[in-house]
Homo-oligomer: A and B are copies of this chain.
């Protein structure tokens, strides 16, 4: 749609929080395409995921964090859900679609008493973070607490994955964002044994493709890549903040994979970058906020700098 309106073919998509310097694809044996994924291959993936996420909790691999978001509302009969907002809008959409009464609230305290509470940590789009202790305290005051850690790869200190077997707590992890391979469709759900068993039955056999299992196993095994990438993303995030502030927009928050800025006019700001074939993200509930993912290759940084000077 942006292409149709602004023209040009060589767009830089900064409208997502997907790492633009992806993990290099391993060579893929023919069998990952031709055969059904085996239980052994899935088990190997879960072994490396447990190390990467520092958790021995029961775990299910699914076709992306979004697939997890689609399953969560069906884990029990619909009741009253509360979501810490503003946040990624698909949680509310999936819950309402499954018949839940959904209330969006502004503080952790206001989540207490919900049958199902959702917290995205760090949050999208503002990067708000909650300490593990605060979330663990909340968990015992709700029916179930779902913590979406889609943007937590660079912040293992925040992660509740190690605590996800405790009961009432379910943790969602995204593979594609931090590893820059969102097209592969891979994510994980960690939680109490009974919940993971229910979700496993709902997901059915083979919810993840053979290539995604192979790539996920290679990528999550490579802890050096993860550490180097987390450090590089932190540096790049600071670089983006400096670049954008020089254009007069104010930094509001963000994670290592995207930054949120306050602009005088979000639509004008988005269109200004779009005229340089750089696509960014506005939000229906703000006429000032603009979210930018981090550029990848040097040429992308150069184009963004030029667009911001324009």
Contact = CB atoms under 8 A, between A and B. Distances in A.
Contacts of A33: 22, 25, 181, 183-184, 215
Contacts of A262: none
A18 to B, nearest CB: 7
Contact of A74 (B74, B183, B203, B205): B74
Contacts of A64: 206
A125 interface: no
A65 to B, nearest CB: 10
Copies in the complex: 2
A22 B34 contact: yes
> A32, A67, A69, A203: which has the most chain B beta carbons within 10 Å?
A67
A183 B70 contact: no
Contacts of A203: 70
A183 B204 contact: no
B34 A66 contact: no
Contacts of A211: 183-184, 209, 211
Given A201-B97, A209-B183, A211-B209, A35 B63 contact: no
A67 B206 CA distance: 8
Interface in A190-241: 201-212, 215
Nearest to A183: B210
Interface residues of A, number: 43
Interface string A12-51: 0100101010100100000111111100000000000000
B70 A202 contact: yes
Given A184-B211, A211-B211, A212-B209, A204 B67 contact: yes
A287 interface: no
B34 A183 contact: yes
Interface string A51-70: 00000000000011011011
A66 B205 contact: yes
Contact of A97 (B67, B90, B202): B202
Given A34-B183, A36-B182, A210-B183, A204 B69 contact: yes
A180 B137 CA distance: 50
A74 B75 CA distance: 12
19 contacts: A13-B35, A18-B35, A25-B33, A33-B181, A33-B183, A35-B183, A36-B176, A36-B183, A63-B185, A63-B206, A63-B209, A66-B204, A66-B205, A67-B207, A74-B74, A97-B202, A185-B210, A209-B209, A209-B212
**Shortest Cβ-Cβ A-B pairs, 6 listed:** A183-B210, A70-B204, A185-B209, A36-B182, A33-B183, A97-B201
